[in-house]
Chains A and B, each alone.
Chain A
Amino acid sequence: MNNFYKKKIYLTGLLLLFWVVGFAQVKVTGVVKGSDDGQILPGVSVKVKGSDAGISTDINGHFSINVPADGVLTFSFIGYISQDVPVDGKPIVNVKLVPSTKALNEVVVVGYGTQKKATLTGAVATVSAAQIADRPVTGLTNALEGTMSGVTIISNNGQPGRDEGSINIRGIGTLNNTDPMVVIDGVISDTYDMNNVNPEDVDNISVLKDAASASIYGNRAANGVIVITTKKGKKGSAQITYSDYFGKQKPTDLPDYLPSWQAATLFNQAKINEGGTAVYTPAQIETFKNGSDPVNYPNTDWLGLFYSGSGFVQNHYVGVNGGNDNTQYAASLGYFDQDGITPKTNSQRYTARVNLTTKLNDRLSFHADLSYTFQPFTEPQASYPGVPAFSQVLRQINRISPIIPDKYPNGEYGHISDGNPMAWINSPSYNDQNTYNLQGIMGADWEIVKGLHFEPSLAYKLDQNQNNDFVSSIQYYNPDGSLSGQANISNANDLYSSLTIVTPQAILDYSLNVGDNHFKALAGYSQEFDGYYILEAYRQGFFNNSLSDLAAAPVTGQTGTQDSYQLGLKSYFGRVNYDYKGKYLLEGDIRDDGSSRFAPSQRWGLFPGGSAGWRASEEDFFAPLKSIVQELKFRASWGELGNQNIGSEYPYIATVSAGQNYPFAGTVAGGISPVNGANAAVTWETTKETDLGLDAGFLNNKLTLTADYFIKNTTGILSAIPVAATYGLTPPVVNSSSVQDKGWELALAYHGRANAFTYNISGNVSFVSNVVTSLGPSASPEISGANITKVGLPINSFWGYQATGIFQTAAQVSAHATQNLGGPTAPGDLIYKDQDGNGVIDGNDKIYLGSNFPKTTFGLNLNMGYKGFDLTGFFQGAANVQNIITGAELGTNSNAAGKPTALLLNSWSPTNTNTNFPRLWINYSQNDPSINPSSFWVKNASYVRLKNLQFGYNFPKKLTDALHIQKLRVYYSGQNILTFTSFYKGTDPEAPAGESGYDYPQVKTNSIGLNVTF
């Protein structure tokens, strides 16, 4: 044995010795309890720090684990702050976990940074990833419905790719676009971009509701701000998660159209009501009923033919997360695929995201977040002159009578003059849309001196849309095989558009603590460039229906257009925060915004804001109460915000428009003319908002409460208010109208536990009232169909006659005010109240009939867990909301282009006088809700929905360890499972205002899913 080997043996021995000393395992046991109530905590994860070894506490809160004598145990449990406990050779380690709701260090994402929740002075609602996890929602917007107070989300369309819903924060603040601003990882985005984000990538969402919180985002923040933060990398070895779900959709409700014999019966009645004669004899009606002659007396179930799509949904997601001390990463890939409940409707979403943070040195770090979303979409098109849209297919399905056969015995399509919607669906027509969204932000954080950070960033967003639609030519034939009408001309329209938004931004951030005085200051500059471009081309008269590329059609009749616009925004902003002992809190904001939409002299707007808070619970005098009330904070804020987001890009520039063409001798000559009114005085629209709030925690913070009262006034609303026709141009945008929203919001949460059984109850409710306070100098109301925007009423209220009953006799008709509203008034007609008492029922007798914007919205989340099982029921709803249905949604009387629903069955007739439903009509419009809306038709559209029901099972540790995975969960999840409402049967209560059968129904989804973490 030479020295070399001796040395080696010696070294090995030394190492072994070290190993024995350093890694001597001890068995540690203990009990884990909650610090709040002292109750035992089962299911707490107990892990040896730095290794994969770990177990969970048993039903009695006990654990037993082998640990190196100098090791550290990490205890973590949902709803509690993770705790690291050094073993230090002790055999027994008892731990009390602190509930995370009590955590003073919990931070909330706010504008350009984060803030401790405890010292927050604004009204900010937050949603965590857990609250939206594992729901078969098609987009982030839908996922948020009902989760936060003050945020009204309406989702009323279930079509794949068209089901994004609408969001309003604290009412309707303007007559313009009311979409809130969306910031995704610092990239200024639009509401629709929310659905470019994979819900599973989301770490948390903050909604900045009050003006003082939002004002830091100034020029786009008047409708509130939604700040979305995606999951960032965490230190540690790579963790891979995979999840999927598979589901099936069904409509929540469909109109109940009557079979052909009843359609014929009601058509007869309507004919008679209008002074005509019955069209169908009793024998013919009997033939419809008994189905003995399906060729001449069919009963076509159009909805059955139409709602025959699979409705299959699937979702897959893979995420990787990890990093070391200097660099952390999170990356994910997602795929979502949704088939509609009608044939040939489909939408898919591919998402990719990389979030990266790296520290160059102690003073300088860089971060880059990059995401890409590709969403292909397809739907059928109508071969209908002028309106080739899918909505026309929906409308005609809801319109075409069961008396019309889908196909004749000769194999040709039955049709009404508008065509046959099933022929359209089965034709090669399509509308394909590919949307591409790329967004990225790269930034740095440079700590120049201690506490002073310089944070420059550059955000870039590119939305591209490629749209390709093709309408095929369809020739209809009569049952005898002869030609019926002319075939429509096949055509294709291709469109490409892109929107680029570039946002450079720089922030100086300084914080300083002097004793109990904490200062924070922020100053920043940002600018935004929006560039939009669209190119569109059209050709018609394809040789046949098998080709649809533009190049395959003749050039005769082709058209091409292109349009573009560019916008600029510049902003300087600042914020100071001061708190004393975390007890007295102050914040001030200011922002100076410039917009290219306004003339140089009107361009800049200065918008200040401020807020203050007082944590009474931190005062000495509060101590006696502290055993009951652990946290009590009062907040107040006031702020001003500007809005310039209007449809017109250059509202102050008077222009002469091209394209005002006219033909001479068969040749079109190019013409120009002023078309749009301009207003050089146009400037920022201003929203002022005051918020009073309180946050409280009771029962060891198991019960928490947040309440807010707000009042929001928007003045100088930029709108093109109607101008008298003698002006001759489209009305210019003026700073004219004012709107007020006020209301209050309440959020309550309770976290409870009884041994192994845990439960959480959280609920929120918002009350908001909206009123138009001014409509410019003329104050002329804007009336459109059943809707009015009028001073003193909510925006876009329902407006119509007050129906007081039904005329039973001719004497009653003649005794009443003259009611000449599109047909001779007769018994069976609705009686409208003569509000002005002038003896004539006319436009002056219309009154406010309600509003489609819910005054009350609420959400209730019930969540319970027992061992590995968890059950969540999430209810959501709206109250104090009205809606009306018209046209095909209500049902009409016809034997071709119209059909009645069951709603029309109990109508008045000389033999059925004991009813409140008016007599049927065809052309007479006195009872028609679309032409003469009245209180009879406007109904309460309040509802409560079981929005999500989830039942999951987490496989026990033993099993997952054996499979070498960390976590395995399987679940059932259902969306829109149950709906309770007194609204019209057959129509979803969230359906668009005045729904008339043009819209895709809302859907419910049942799904099963899987989550695995490796």
Chain B
Amino acid sequence: MKKILIPSILIVLFLLSACSKDFLNRVPPDALSNATLWTDAADATAALVGVYNGQADPLGYCGPGWASGTEIAFFDGMSDNAYSQYPWDGIQAFGNGNITPTLTGYYAANLWNYTAITRCNYFLANIGACPMDATLKAQMIAQVRFIRAYQYFLMSQLYGAVPLVTTNLTPAQANASVRTPKADITKFILSELAAAAPDLETTSTGADVGHITQGAALALKARVELFEADYKDCITDYQAVMKLGYSLDPSYSDLFRIQNQYTNPEIIAAVQYVENPSSNSNGVIGIFPSNSMGGWSSINPLQSMVDCYEMANGKVITDPTSGYDPTHPYTNRDPRLAATILYPGAPYIPSGSTTPLYYDPLDPSSPDYYQSGNNTSPSGYEVVKYTSHLSDFDNLFQSGLNMTIIRYAEVLLSYAEAKIESNQIDGTVYTAINQVRNRAGMPNVDQTVYNSQSTLRSLIRRERRVEFAFEGLRYFDIQRWAIGSQVMNGPVYGARLGTVNATTGQYTITGDSIKVETRLFATKNYLWPVPQSEININKALTQNPGF
């Protein structure tokens, strides 16, 4: 008996373990299924947050959001405002015209991206059946429609025609999606924003800060209308925004300080970040400061940008009566120059210190020497707009600074531009521009000089470039004004060689301007090439002309 017993026990034990029916039915322990979701407002709220999280940062510097701080930080590198010194960021090739469809893995390929749109479509397809308060539901739907519209705005601006996708696709459908003409995309954006605006809250305060509001929807709508030269609707929409209670922050230089970001009356829409945990932090501001200040000097202002700033008296530097002294080029300039750009001899306070130092990119022994190749600016200029106070941040690469996408100054200047372009030059035009200039410490527009559509056009374009430097708008402006061949062609320069007195900051010019690079602009550069990797997969996609 014993001889049989032991093997029998073995067999029984074995069969017991083998026969469990559910052995092969395994489900992920950490993910939900759509079937069990959408039961109440809490589910919808979580899904809404998932939509806000939709756009991954194209370069991975920032946490995800409905837009990306990295775009804001880098886009001026594609314009005459700045040079993007690192080829791997993928911006330089847009600046110098060398962009090709096969620069894969770079920025160029990463914005042809439907992740956020897919999330919006998923939300909109499912929210209908979710039992919850109707007003709240309508408000959520409107936010999602805004985010989808913003994504289409960005992509159609960059690539022109893109596939218009409003439902969730199967892989086979996705692989056959065709490009929708830009005009149809624009129409879609405008109608979506028009539909969303009434359902949105007029302002978001307290714990709601960061949610998309009516002001954002109308301001984006007006921006698209301005870009499309639909000035009539543009003016109407901006007038509506002006009634919503926004105002300019009293200080231009404090506009981007983290201290003010939840209460700043000027912010209409911003991507939100928090210092910690790191997955939702803003690391992109670390790309601005020079090595010795703890940054990477990725975006380097060009002389053309510096020269654009007026004198403090409101005259352009090319005006012989302006008082501009080429040997002291940074003296008596528009205060926004010093608030935006760190130039040779400019004072700055290093993090963890209270003693100002003077920025010296010109001495070979300086840690900021422009030629050192060590995360210093090859143009001799640094951007200080977001990092005017380095001590505001414990860690530049993990900061909690929100990145502004739309602010009230844009409403004012865009309104003025639309009025100028539609040749309705009235007092509101000057008032709008003067509000922006006065806030920065600049005098009113000289109405004797700027009294015609053409003079005002040059003024408003300069004012936009100066006011919004390094806020990602200049590239779009070059596109829509079609001024690429004038401003994006030929050699670009940095500061003039010279010396900086380490104790006084005195800048003495001893040499020529630094030549940064030579650019080549072609008409094709008004649009980005469709990534070749996408065309490889989807044979129905066409390439933009010239690529």
Please give the residue numbers on chain A whose beta carbons come within 8 Å of chain B beta carbons, in ascending order: 271, 275-276, 279, 296, 360-361, 363-364, 385-386, 416-418, 444, 446, 448, 454, 456, 478-479, 482-486, 488-489, 504, 506, 525, 527, 529, 540, 556-559, 563-570, 594-596, 600, 603, 649-650, 653-658, 660-674, 677, 722-729, 731-732, 734, 777-778, 780-781, 783-785, 820-824, 842-843, 894-898, 922-923, 925, 931
Contact = CB atoms under 8 A, between A and B. Distances in A.
Shortest 7 CB-CB contacts between residues of A and residues of B: A728-B118, A671-B49, A673-B50, A417-B375, A843-B102, A557-B276, A485-B294
B14 to A, nearest CB: 5
Nearest to A271: B371
Contact of B65 (A417, A653, A662, A781): A662
A674 B122 contact: yes
Contact of B398 (A417, A454, A489): A489
Contacts of A734: 171
A670 B49 contact: yes
A409 to B, nearest CB: 14
Contact of B207 (A557, A649, A665, A677): A665
Given A486-B294, A668-B280, A785 B105 contact: yes
A778 B277 contact: no
Given A664-B209, A724-B175, A444 B24 contact: no
Given A665-B210, A843-B532, A923-B87, A728 B24 contact: no
Contact of A565 (B29, B105, B390): B29
B100 A663 contact: no
A167 B102 CA distance: 33
A729 to B, nearest CB: 6
A722 B109 CA distance: 14
Given A723-B174, A725-B113, A660 B50 contact: yes
Contacts of B325: none
A730 B395 CA distance: 32
Interface stretch (B242-250, B348-356, B440-448): B348-356
A853 to B, nearest CB: 23
Nearest to A892: B373
B51 A525 contact: no
A896 B273 CA distance: 33
B98 A822 contact: yes
A674 B169 contact: no
A169 B3 CA distance: 44
Nearest to A728: B118
Interface in B1-34: 3, 6-7, 10-11, 14, 17-18, 23-34
A484 B374 CA distance: 12
B373 A556 contact: no
B26 A416 contact: no
26 contacts: A364-B3, A364-B6, A456-B10, A485-B294, A486-B293, A486-B352, A506-B11, A559-B279, A595-B24, A653-B33, A665-B206, A666-B262, A668-B274, A669-B49, A670-B49, A671-B47, A671-B53, A673-B51, A673-B54, A674-B122, A723-B174, A725-B113, A778-B175, A842-B102, A923-B87, A925-B87
Interface stretch (B70-78, B315-323, B413-421, B533-541): B533-541
Nearest to B115: A728
Contacts of B367: 478, 484
Contacts of B372: 895-896
B31 A668 contact: no
Contact of B104 (A483, A484, A661, A783): A783
B292 A486 contact: no
A663 B177 CA distance: 33
A525 B18 contact: yes
B7 A444 contact: yes
A658 B3 contact: no
B296 interface: yes
Given A727-B171, A728-B117, A822-B98, A486 B396 contact: yes
A564 B28 CA distance: 8
B211 A664 contact: yes
Contacts of B165: 726, 728
Contacts of A842: 100-102
Contacts of B544: none
B394 interface: yes
B10 A444 contact: yes
A654 B101 contact: no
Q: Which secondary structure characterizes the binding site on chain A?
A: loop
A732 B171 contact: yes
Given A484-B367, A728-B168, A822-B93, A660 B174 contact: no
A344 to B, nearest CB: 26
B119 A723 contact: no
B92 interface: yes
Contacts, number: 315
B49 A662 contact: yes
Interface residues of B, number: 120
Contacts of B87: 822, 923, 925, 931
B8 to A, nearest CB: 10
B515 interface: yes
Contacts of B351: 483, 485-486
Contact of A456 (B11, B175, B278): B11
Given A364-B7, A486-B294, A722-B537, A665 B262 contact: yes
Nearest to A931: B87
Nearest to A846: B102
A894 B372 CA distance: 8
Contacts of B168: 728
Given A724-B177, A896-B373, A666 B400 contact: yes
A239 B175 CA distance: 68
B163 interface: yes
Interface string B318-332: 000000000000000
A159 to B, nearest CB: 26
B297 to A, nearest CB: 8
Interface centre among B29, B371, B372, B537 (most CB of A within 10 A): B537
A570 B23 CA distance: 8
Contacts of B294: 485-486
B301 interface: no
A661 B534 CA distance: 28
Contact of A603 (B14, B24, B171): B24
A656 B122 CA distance: 11
A801 to B, nearest CB: 11
A666 B274 CA distance: 6
Contact of B17 (A364, A489, A504): A504
Contacts of B169: 726-728
B516 to A, nearest CB: 9
Contact of B53 (A563, A564, A662, A821): A662
Given A728-B168, A729-B115, 6 more contacts: A444-B10, A540-B276, A566-B29, A596-B25, A661-B280, A663-B210
Contacts of A296: 365
B404 to A, nearest CB: 15
A895 B25 contact: no
Contact of A527 (B23, B177, B536): B23
A601 B230 CA distance: 57
B340 interface: no
Interface string B110-137: 0011110111011000000000000000
Contact of A725 (B25, B114, B393): B114
Contact of A673 (B11, B104, B122, B375): B122
B288 interface: no
B174 A724 contact: yes
A279 B514 CA distance: 13
A897 B374 contact: yes
Contacts of A594: 24
A485 B532 CA distance: 40
Contacts of B538: 724, 726, 778
B388 interface: no
B46 A568 contact: no
A724 B115 CA distance: 11
Contact of B118 (A446, A484, A729, A824): A729
B171 A385 contact: no
